[in-house]
Structure 1
Amino acid sequence: MTFATPCVALALALTVTAAAGPPEEAAKTEGEAERNVVFLGEERPVFLRLRVMAGDRPFDAAWLDSIRTIHACLDLDGDGKLTEKEADRGALAALVRLATGGATTLLRGELDVHPKDGVVSIDELAEALRPVIGPFRVQVGRLAINRTDALFDHLDRDKDGALTRTELAAIAGSLRRLDLDDNEMISATELEPFNSPTAMAVAGNAADRQARLIAVPPVVELVAGVSSLRLARLLLKKYDKGRGDVPGRPDGKLSPEEFAIDPDAFASADANHDGALSTEELRKFLAQAPVDLDLEINLSPDASGSGSGPGRATTRIRGDGGLAKGTEVRQLADGDVEIAVGRIRLDIHVDQGDAVAENARRIYQRLFKAADANKDGYLEGKELPAENNDAPVQVQVQGQVSPLAGLVKVIDRDGDGKLYEKELMEFADRQSEAARGRLVLTASDQGRAIFGILDLDRDRRLSAREVMRTVDRITSWDGDSDGRVTADEIPYHFQVNIARGELTGLIGGGGAGNNVVAPQAMMAAPKPAALTAGPDWFRQMDRNHDGDISRREFLGPRTEFDRLDRDKDGLIDAEEAEAGAGAASRGNAGP
């Protein structure tokens, strides 16, 4: 008898029930959907409120669906009840490691809490898992190693630490020399061509380790009802530079010069009117901190998240339309927003997580084929990893521990001691769906890096059009109008990725030896998005998929290129191609 079908059916049934929801759920939507995060910029913090929805439901409701999926998969006999015996700590800890990539384990005796009836309810499982794989997690990504980036160094020809108009005017020629693959695009790796992908992966992992150990993280979640003491101390550690006759020596308070928040908010928090904020006054400020921006994020409620319309991740500004002084917002795409708060830039990208299931299936298929030593189509005996996580693991992939360790009983639904590829794929699909119910905000502190600010489409490449806009964007940072842009004048930059969860233990999350992906795969650049705008000939000629056709890419005569290039910027975009093609058809001519 197989229990694979009951496991899936139970999860789906519970999901449908949750989707309907009681009438009172709507009243709780606002609070459940809101998350407050603080970005610690160089001069001041930026407070961002996120309201995250999955369709018309708060995202926390989607998280409960993921807990139901885990509950159903641990329920080996499919009777809808999870006994303490079925809630095996080894399997549950392995599922957590698969989700987080870490070595988090659960203590015995913390599942069946109330009532102690020998059965672990969905609520009990949710409370046990909330601290480790909760609905919303804030983490630190890569950190800037240097104050500026390689692009700044390449443009600063005289190495005086500033960019002049003369240097910027020569940017096209400067960057053309860096185009090593001759595709009219400048990638981050081409700026530092002597770094191999493996070396870059190691450097990235080192930065991630540094992020976990850094004394003052660049982003912190501000949780209602949780003591603000830790955040107040972080603010002091970040901004307290000392004042008066002992500059450089922290005095345990923040002056307006050190903490450049709104003057009215500063004065309101300064209870004793001494012109500085102590720890307790900072806590008072945090209790009523003005939100710099209120964003609503809407994710697709279905499993695919693909297509147009409701399937796309979207962001929009909430409120009455008014922005705080010094705040600017640029909508780059449905799920991409660039926010400027003073001299701080937040580039926010919302990832629907469309590829999570596909990636998990591909990695598990690779894992299965590597473990199936006798090629008989299933794993058994020594081909299986040890069920006891403390026992020596027998199956390794690329010299690393198999992510299947501790999960054989969960995957082998019919209990015949054999793992077939179909069972593994069903398990991958269930866990990928569970991962979609978790949300992860990753903030990467880029420092005063130019490349990330100019790369508006976040494909880690600078297109010809992005290079053309470089001069205007960089010169706009010249705050003192002296014709030179120094490192101090470059906006401080955070890259923020808000994404549905993924099976981090499969794709290089570190910890527990669970990474089965080669460094080259981890560092692979994202594939260019398929072009959908413009006529067919335009999409075929745009060989580097940057949304423009250059003179080199255009296959027709130069006179035809000049006719289509209406704004005479040396590039034909989709709109110009459509307009030119229409005019040509009316005149019985074509490109």
Structure 2
Amino acid sequence: MRQFLIIAFTLALLVFQDATPHCYGAEAQDNADIELILVTAAGPSLVRLKVAVDRTPVTEAWEKAFAEIHYFFDRDGNGSLDRQEVSGRLLSDFVMRQWAWGQFTPTSGRTPQWDAIDQDRSGEVSVEELSGYYRSRGLGRGVITIGYPAWTLQLTEALVRIVDTDSDGTTTRQEWENIGHLLKQHDANGDDLIGPGELVLQAVYPGASGSILLNPTSLDRYDSEQFQRLPALVPEPSDISPVWPKELLRRLDANGNLALSLSESGMDSQLFTKLDGNHDQALSISEIAHWRDLADAKPITVAFSDNTAIVSVADQADGMPEANLPYRLLKDGLQLSLMSSPGNARGEQIAAEKRLSAQFDSIDADKDGRATSEEIANSNLLEFARMKTIADRDGDGVLVREEFDAWINCHQAVAEAHVFVTILSYGQGLFELLDRDRNGGLSSSELLAAPSILEEADALDVNGTLATSQLPHQLHVVVSRGMPARLLSGTTTRAPDWFAAMDRNQDGSISRKEFLGSEEQFTRLDKDGSRSISVLEADCQ
């Protein structure tokens, strides 16, 4: 089945014209699928991601999945679940997360306790109650994962060491203007890209994946050092008691008085006044909690189709990416890049279905559409045996094809709703700052632009010397269906065929070495004189 995924990204900085006090706004923007709060010394900024699967908001896709699960376990078909129907059999949230990466073990994790799902104590569980339970366990929107690449500091030190030609311990703007020439000798494989392994021996890049799960319902998730050094928070869904305001207060409360002044908050004065409901010139935790409800929104979309994605931005002035490069936002010492990546959820789902269907056929030797407990035990297929304990809806010891198909429908609905947001935190990485297209290599055009990139990031002091302590913190966000197929940008540029054929290193530009035409032709196409031809220049020939 052909899948189409549209991800609508909304990036908003808080700007408000209405300064009416104690008016938090009638419409809280809780329809967003996933939100990130970027936290810098200059205050918070909101990143809002609105995700849809097959033109359906991912929140609705999850509600469909929860309804499928409810329907499956509702054996008597009365529209509600009783203790007997769910006892020891209902899926854990751990299991449903495992399905996103192909682990099909329905008996893993702790099954929900009855008191946790029967919220109104009626002795019956409705679809809404079951959905509420799973959403309280962090399902229903997206899976947030974090990774910390290991080579950031070494790459920064290697670049500075190469550029510092006079070995005085500092690098000037003039030295950075010569970086392209200086790094040519390090292009060991001759691909016109300077890769991490050519700067630091045996460097594996990015060297990290989203291996740390950020559970959106864990009250102590910000206590660990690995989360505290992440300059971002993930607010809870609207129906879960919020923890993020307390953490935001902890990070910004410089004087420790358990409230934020205007200067500590970094907010616009009009917004601050609007949040300050009791007019005491300080924001309490309860007042901070209304902050995200007032964000203005400007959409960024990423359209997935057949494992490809097209990035577009509604307002080009806000950073329209060229040639499908990652969207970048540089603000207050933090640079955020956003990109899409093909995920593996659909592929893993199809593989699991085919595998289990083939196992059913092999067990059902007489082709009567039934797999008995004895036949399953004799097959030694442990995965199928575990599935049967759940999929046998009527508990008669025989798994019929109709029960199997209904169980597969549950698996399919959950797998199709899975969206991952992977956050790689590179710290103050110089290599990552220069690698504008996030492909894991520095091209000639990126090296040529190094001085202007450093100036834009305010990383050069008044004397034009690089101050590594002023490099912006780099956050790279990858949105995918299931776990991402890649964390670096690919070659999904909309380029002419001749361009794609000449771009041997697939960095999105053509060097003179790659160009097969004459010097005159190359110069005519290289309109900015960077000694490389971009996709935009190729399109304008």
TM-score (norm 1): 0.64
Give distance in 2, aligned partners of 1:576 and 1:312.
19
Say which SS state the counterpart of residue 185 (structure 1) adopts: coil
Structure 2 gaps, min length 5: 2-25, 102-107, 216-220, 366-370
Residue identity opposite 1:284 in structure 2: E
Instruction: Report if the CA contact (8 A) 2:196-2:204 is conserved.
Output: no
Give distance in 2, aligned partners of 1:363 and 1:461.
36
Query: 1:484 aligned to 2:476?
Result: no
Query: 1:473 aligned to 2:453?
Result: yes
Matches within 5 A, 1:347-362: 347-350=337-340, 355-362=344-351
Which residue of 1 is the match for residue 503 of structure 2? 542
Say which SS state the counterpart of residue 438 (structure 2) adopts: coil
Query: 1:66 aligned to 2:69?
Result: no
Matches within 5 A, 1:165-176: 165-176=173-184
C-alpha RMSD of matched pairs (Å): 5.2
Point out the more displaced range, 35-44 or 80-89: 80-89
Matches within 5 A, 1:106-145: 106-111=112-117, 116=122, 120-137=125-142, 139-143=144-148
Cα drift, residue 330 of structure 1: 1.2
Cα drift, residue 129 of structure 1: 1.5
Residue identity opposite 1:453 in structure 2: L
Give distance in 2, aligned partners of 1:207 and 1:413.
32
Cα drift, residue 339 of structure 1: 2.2
Give distance in 2, aligned partners of 1:413 and 1:186.
58
Which residue of 2 is the match for residue 20 of structure 1? none
Instruction: Report if the CA contact (8 A) 1:47-1:291 is conserved.
Output: no
Residue identity opposite 2:431 in structure 1: F
Which residue of 2 is the match for residue 89 of structure 1? 88
Which residue of 2 is the match for residue 587 of structure 1? none
Give distance in 2, aligned partners of 1:182 and 1:103.
50
Which residue of 2 is the match for residue 494 of structure 1? 475
Cα drift, residue 156 of structure 1: 1.4
May I ask how many residue pairs the two structures share in their alignment? Answer: 487
Residue identity opposite 1:496 in structure 2: V
Which residue of 2 is the match for residue 381 of structure 1? 377
Q: 1:98 to 1:264 in 2, by over 3 A?
A: same
Query: 1:569 aligned to 2:527?
Result: no
Which among 501, 513, 525 is matched to residue 552 of structure 1?
Answer: 513
Which residue of 1 is the match for residue 18 of structure 2? none
Matches within 5 A, 1:326-365: 329-332=318-321, 336-350=326-340, 355-362=344-351
Between the aligned residues of both structures, percent identity stands at 23
Which residue of 1 is the match for residue 218 of structure 2? none
Cα drift, residue 226 of structure 1: 5.7
Cα deviation digits, residues 326-346 of structure 1 (max 9, x gap): xx8312267953223333322
Cα deviation digits, residues 554-577 of structure 1 (max 9, x gap): 234444434543443222334544
Say which SS state the counterpart of residue 339 (structure 2) adopts: strand
Which residue of 1 is the match for residue 284 of structure 2? 281
Cα drift, residue 533 of structure 1: 1.8
Q: 1:284 to 1:204 in 2, by over 3 A?
A: closer
Query: 1:213 aligned to 2:224?
Result: yes
Which residue of 1 is the match for residue 46 of structure 2? 47
Say which SS state the counterpart of residue 65 (structure 1) adopts: helix
Give distance in 2, aligned partners of 1:542 and 1:493.
27
Give distance in 2, aligned partners of 1:109 and 1:299.
41
Which residue of 2 is the match for residue 237 of structure 1? 250
Cα deviation digits, residues 228-263 of structure 1 (max 9, x gap): 5x4343234323455xxxxxxx55555666543334
Cα deviation digits, residues 526-571 of structure 1 (max 9, x gap): 583355421x333222222223222222234444434543443222
Cα drift, residue 357 of structure 1: 0.8
Q: 1:145 to 1:330 in 2, by over 3 A?
A: same
Instruction: Report if the CA contact (8 A) 2:349-2:415 is conserved.
Output: no
TM-score (norm 2): 0.69
Residue identity opposite 2:444 in structure 1: A
Query: 1:154 aligned to 2:158?
Result: yes
Matches within 5 A, 1:520-531: 528-530=490-492
Give distance in 1, aligned partners of 2:211 and 2:53.
32
Say which SS state the counterpart of residue 446 (structure 1) adopts: strand
Instruction: Report if the CA contact (8 A) 1:41-1:492 is conserved.
Output: no
